[in-house]
Amino acid sequence: MALGGRESLETEVVATRDPPRVRRDQDRELVDAILRKDRKAAAEFVQVHSDSLYAYVRSRLAPRSDLVDDIVQDVFVAGLGGLSRFEGQSSLRTWLLGIARHKVEDYYRARLRRLDSLSEAGNDLETVSFANLELDASLDRAKLKERTHRILTELPEQYSVVLLWRYWERRSAKEMAKQTGKTEKAIERLLARARTRFKQLWEAS
C-alpha cells in the first residue's frame, strides 16, 4: 500500500510552507501557552489541526462517518491532556495524527471483538482463490476515492472493519488476532471472505 499507519503520517496532510525549525518553534510556543492555561491558545490548537484530523479519521472510518466527530473529539481530549509529554521530536500535527491512529485502531479492535462472525466455522481458506483478487492494487489506486467508500458502505460491517484495519493501517492477521482475542486462522478466514466480497462489488460497480 502507498500509505499506512506505520509510515509517516505527515505525508497524509498538506505540508505547511514554514520550514521545519519554524514549525517546531511555533509548536513549542503553542504548547507552552496551553500548559499555562491560555484559552486562546487551546482554541488555536483545535482550529489549526481540525482539518487534518477530520480528513484522516474520516478516511479510516469509512463508511462509519457518524463516528468521526466522536473520535476526533477523543483525539483532542487525549492530545490536550497529554501535552506535558510532548517532546517536540515530531510536529504537533504528526503527534496528533499518531493519537488518531491509535483511536481508530481502538475502534477496529472493539468492533471485531464484539462481532460473532469470527468463528472457526465457515469456508476453509483453501476454497478461496487469491490469485486474481489483486485487492492490494485496487485499494491502493482507489484509496480515499468515492468508489471505494461506496463499496465499503455496501459491505457487512465486519468486512469493512477488517479490510480497513488490514490494508489502511497495515496490520497483519497475526497482530489483529492478538489484539482481538481471536485466532489468526479466524481473522484470515474473515479477510478472505471480505476480499472476495469487495472484489465482487468492485467488478459489479
Q: What is the CATH number of the domain that holds 134?
A: 1.10.10
Exposure pattern of 3-32 as b/e (b: 16+ CB <10 Å)? bebeeebeebbeeeeeeeeebbeebeebbe
Residues 199, 31: Cα–Cα separation, whole Å: 46
Are 81 and 164 found together in one domain?
A: no
State residue 109's pLDDT score: 86
Inside any domain, residue 174 = yes
Query: What's the domain count of the chain?
Result: 2
Are 63 and 91 found together in one domain?
A: yes
Are 67 and 133 found together in one domain?
A: no
Are 101 and 189 found together in one domain?
A: no
Inside any domain, residue 73 = yes
Are 137 and 86 found together in one domain?
A: no
What's the CATH code of the domain at 30?
1.10.1740.10
Please determine, for residue 202, whether its predicted confidence score (pLDDT) is greater than 90. Answer: no
Task: Domain of residue 101: give its range.
Answer: 9-106
Considering the entire predicted model, what is its pTM? 0.63
Q: 2: pLDDT confidence band, cut at 50, 70 and 90?
A: very low
Q: pLDDT (tens digit, 9 = 90+) per residue, 122-166? A: 443 333 443 344 555 555 554 546 777 778 888 888 888 888 888
